[in-house]
Amino acid sequence: MRAYTGDGDVNEETTAAIARIREEVCVLHAELVRYGLVAWTAGNVSGRVPGTDLFVIKPSGISYDDLTPESIVVCDADGVLVDGDLSPSSDTDAHAYVYRHMPDVGGVVHTHSTYATAWAARGESIPCVLTAMGDEFGGEIPVGPFALIGDDSIGRGIVKTLSGHNSPAVLMQNHGVFTIGKDARAAVKAAVMCEDVARTVHIARQLGEPIPIPQDDVARLYDRYQNVYGQR
Amino acid sequence: MRAYTGDGDVNEETTAAIARIREEVCVLHAELVRYGLVAWTAGNVSGRVPGTDLFVIKPSGISYDDLTPESIVVCDADGVLVDGDLSPSSDTDAHAYVYRHMPDVGGVVHTHSTYATAWAARGESIPCVLTAMGDEFGGEIPVGPFALIGDDSIGRGIVKTLSGHNSPAVLMQNHGVFTIGKDARAAVKAAVMCEDVARTVHIARQLGEPIPIPQDDVARLYDRYQNVYGQR
Amino acid sequence: MRAYTGDGDVNEETTAAIARIREEVCVLHAELVRYGLVAWTAGNVSGRVPGTDLFVIKPSGISYDDLTPESIVVCDADGVLVDGDLSPSSDTDAHAYVYRHMPDVGGVVHTHSTYATAWAARGESIPCVLTAMGDEFGGEIPVGPFALIGDDSIGRGIVKTLSGHNSPAVLMQNHGVFTIGKDARAAVKAAVMCEDVARTVHIARQLGEPIPIPQDDVARLYDRYQNVYGQR
Amino acid sequence: MRAYTGDGDVNEETTAAIARIREEVCVLHAELVRYGLVAWTAGNVSGRVPGTDLFVIKPSGISYDDLTPESIVVCDADGVLVDGDLSPSSDTDAHAYVYRHMPDVGGVVHTHSTYATAWAARGESIPCVLTAMGDEFGGEIPVGPFALIGDDSIGRGIVKTLSGHNSPAVLMQNHGVFTIGKDARAAVKAAVMCEDVARTVHIARQLGEPIPIPQDDVARLYDRYQNVYGQR
């Protein structure tokens, strides 16, 4: 394995943090498989290494069955490989752009999950008609621009769409979903919930119009869920 | 673990009953996962402790993988935690309201299962067009009101809708499903069957109108199933 | 276990045949679960005991997880329990009627599988627009009458609909599917393929009209598949 | 097992290559099951034996559970069995035709996967409205002719439709999918991705029209994916 050769201090603490986040990100990919969000090798999770400009991400084109913590690669803030034997995900530039421009983001997930991508193919945002959407997304799930892979276009589209928005998920037109979170686990949760509500609202709309939830009720749901749900 | 400090007699019998129902409710959560009724941590099962005003319920925001009988919490009739290390489900108030107002109910289940929630998002009850619906629900599955979490609104909506109704399931508008049963297992069965018929009737309606079942035939199916099906 | 008390010769050969068919029918129920054809306890497989008027069938209301060869019950030609500790399936009368009136049938399966039951809820037969339907069903999958449980109505509807028809599957209106086969395994295969084509044709029709297959091509497909497919 | 009796040199190298490809093709069938592309025994994978005119393929009508490397049969360029105890897949003639006429093809897969087959039943190609389709298929997924099993019709339809086309997948009208690849694994990947995009585009179209992707952007996506994605 190539040694880390970045400019930052790579002390023992960072080495340990990298090992921990590689393990976590490796395990979280199994959640994408479990919830049926990915086919073959299409989809990836990344996680920021706390206290550094580094992040770890899935290697490109590797089967989920074959992922190990060691196979997860480490990149710097520009998405350049700094540790690992494999090439990073072809979506690494988009992840890197998000980490550079959204300092509170600690995890990013990308999938082509079926129902969310179907909304993205039509370029339609998902309206907030479920209390679970109010809880997790605080309103609609927005659509980002059509953008080709290969430069900063996708990253810019994600950051521009999500900045100032409650939703941790964006539907990139004709493409798929990107989600963000305070850490990789939160971003995976957002990806799971995004597909879940994308599917439920799609199915609801197949036979008529869902009833809207008043905006102030959405705000109450979001506020409560972000502050009360789960363990303290 | 905090000791039980309620006013009731907590004799050995109650202690044993609590242990049994914690085990049962823990195991039943796996059925929600197996039947695909829940995503991430959204959904919960509770069960009344026989001979007491207590019930046990899932802790809030805990992964189904991590549930153990010991992690299931015990609440009193007002939904206040009386035993357990974790905060109870954010839906505990709704469960508690049902137990207080429906003395024959021994189990309550809540899910956002996809097809049932899609009907709920449109505020439409599911018409009884399947013999399996006649068997289990004795007619349509009704819709309850839109209600915000945080007070008794959800509980009141459940009890008002289900009182005097054959159906053990109610579709809470824009929210999801609550089911009741003589015990936790029966409520889980109702949640599984509710999603099953919600899906089948949805799919039937996608390509035309299902044929109604005459009401007296529904009554015959319901009566027979409640009295003849299964083992004596 | 109650001893067999029928009038027939219950020699060692029959005892061995009963044990074999109980084992086979027990294992085949797992295929219903694997292919997602059943929810909770709704669905059943039966198999004729070769050389006798007996058949074996699932006990009523028992979880698929809990089925063992010993728990499978033995019934006579009238559907009366002749061996076993549990009550037979509530659909036993329908299975018995089929065995009495279709001597070549060695296995019967009943499910409420989602897509097939959706066609049944609208009372629509499934048109033969897939070569796989030509192969297995030799034409459309027909609809049988609405019939209540409790007498011979369901059995009569199955036999009347399937007699002289290529299809081993019938969609009982508002109810579900019954399939037949030379043995229990063939009937399970028909139930799996029935749901598979019911789903594919449903999805095809959601976005337009499938192209019909000319009737003489259907006949060629059916003939070839029944005589050439598989191992000699 | 019958010994290989073809005219070619069957030296140790070929024997070893046959053993390897039998193992690979056996394992790849499990991917068809994992991704839900097949029901019962309908679907098959074949792989060319490098350096020979031979290919290996699934035996006819055998359960996926029962496949072993030894059960996979070896056929010559005309699809005639040259090694193995079982009859080859009833689709062997179509596979053989492809190998004879497309020398770069090293693997062929056939399924009746649900959504792709639904498009095939209507005789509609799948429009390229997802970046993932641009990546893998380089444009639309085309429809091939209606063709009966029993002669070269299916093989000719596959080769004619795919020749000069970017797509490694063809929807055979009223029938199902055939995919090709440089090896069996690539053909299985194409079958998995074909169903994935068939499903997503179907669902997108249920509620409106997907936004087209400009043809030159499709070309850029295809070029990049074929040359940059994955490990070097």
Q: Does B42 touch chain A (CB under 8 A)?
A: yes
Specify if B232 maps to a domain.
no
Interatomic CA distance for residues C175 and A231, integer angstroms: 45
User: What kind and span of H or E run contains C176?
Assistant: strand C176-181
- Identify the band that residue B101 occupies on the pLDDT scale cut at 50, 70 and 90: very high
Q: Is the pLDDT of residue B76 over 50?
A: yes
Specify if C7 maps to a domain.
no
CB contact under 8 A, B118 and A193: no
Is there a contact between C170 and C177 (Cβ–Cβ < 8 Å)? yes
Specify if B7 maps to a domain.
no
Domain that holds residue B48: 12-227
Q: Does C61 touch chain B (CB under 8 A)?
A: yes
Interatomic CA distance for residues A187 and A141, integer angstroms: 14
CB contact under 8 A, A199 and B112: no
More confident residue, C10 or A52: A52
The per-residue pLDDT for C4 is: 52
The per-residue pLDDT for D231 is: 79
Nearest to C38 by CA among C109, C125, C144: C109
- Spans in chain A with pLDDT lower than 70: 1-10, 232
Specify if C2 maps to a domain.
no
Length of chain B counted residue by residue: 232
Sign of the four-CA dihedral C231, D4, D9, D10: positive
Is there a contact between A113 and A176 (Cβ–Cβ < 8 Å)? yes
Tell me D70's DSSP state: G
State the residue for tokens 């009368």: C93
Among the listed ranges A95-99, B227-231, C88-92, C153-157, which one has the minimum average pLDDT value? Answer: B227-231
B173 vs A132, A211, A220: nearest CB: A211
Nearest to D131 by CA among A173, C182, B74, B229: A173
Q: What is the CATH number of the domain that holds D153?
A: 3.40.225.10
Specify if B6 maps to a domain.
no
Helices (H), A7-60: 12-34
Q: Does D34 touch chain A (CB under 8 A)?
A: no
Q: Is the pLDDT of residue C181 over 80?
A: yes
Q: Does A88 touch chain D (CB under 8 A)?
A: no
- Spans in chain D with pLDDT lower than 70: 1-10, 232
Interatomic CA distance for residues C46 and C16, integer angstroms: 17
- In angstroms, how far is CA B190 from the centroid of its own chain? 7
CB contact under 8 A, D149 and C132: no
Residue C101 tokens, joined = 């009136």
Q: Is the pLDDT of residue C6 over 80?
A: no
Q: The whole model's pTM is what? A: 0.95
Specify if B55 maps to a domain.
yes
Strand, helix or coil for residue C94: helix
The per-residue pLDDT for A227 is: 83
The per-residue pLDDT for C3 is: 42
Residue B140 tokens, joined = 């349509």
What is the mean pLDDT of the segment spanning C157-169? 97
What is the mean pLDDT of the segment spanning C88-114? 97
Chain D CB contacts of C200 under 8 Å are 112, 114, 117-118, 121
Among the listed ranges B49-63, C3-17, C69-83, D9-23, which one has the minimum average pLDDT value? Answer: C3-17
DSSP D120-182: HHHT-PBP--SHHHHHHHSSPBPEEPP--TTSSHHHHHHHHHHTT-S-SEEEETTTEEEEEES
The per-residue pLDDT for A167 is: 98
More confident residue, D156 or B11: D156
CB contact under 8 A, D173 and C211: yes
Specify if A62 maps to a domain.
yes
Interatomic CA distance for residues C124 and D170, integer angstroms: 31
- In angstroms, how far is CA C158 from the centroid of its own chain? 10
Q: Does A30 touch chain B (CB under 8 A)?
A: no
Interatomic CA distance for residues D217 and D202, integer angstroms: 22
In tens, the pLDDT along C118-137 reads: 999 999 999 999 999 999 99
Burial of B139 (0-12, 13-18, 19+ CB in 10 A): buried
Specify if B88 maps to a domain.
yes
Interatomic CA distance for residues C162 and A206, integer angstroms: 34
Q: Does A191 touch chain B (CB under 8 A)?
A: no
What is the mean pLDDT of the segment spanning C85-90? 96
Q: Is the pLDDT of residue B24 over 90?
A: yes
CB contact under 8 A, A62 and D208: no
Q: How far is B39 from chain C (nearest CA, A)?
A: 19
- Neighbouring CB atoms inside 10 A of D65's CB total 8
The per-residue pLDDT for B4 is: 52
The per-residue pLDDT for D176 is: 98
Residue A229 tokens, joined = 């749900």
Q: How far is C40 from chain B (nearest CA, A)?
A: 7
Strands C55-57 and D55-57: unpaired
The values of phi and psi at residue B230, to 5°, are 80, -165
Q: Does D146 touch chain C (CB under 8 A)?
A: yes
- The total domain count for chain C is 1
Counting one residue from chain B and one from chain C, the pairs whose CB atoms sit within 8 A come to: 90
A202 vs D192, D207, D228: nearest CB: D207
CB contact under 8 A, D174 and C130: yes
Q: Does B22 touch chain C (CB under 8 A)?
A: no
- Identify the band that residue C5 occupies on the pLDDT scale cut at 50, 70 and 90: very low
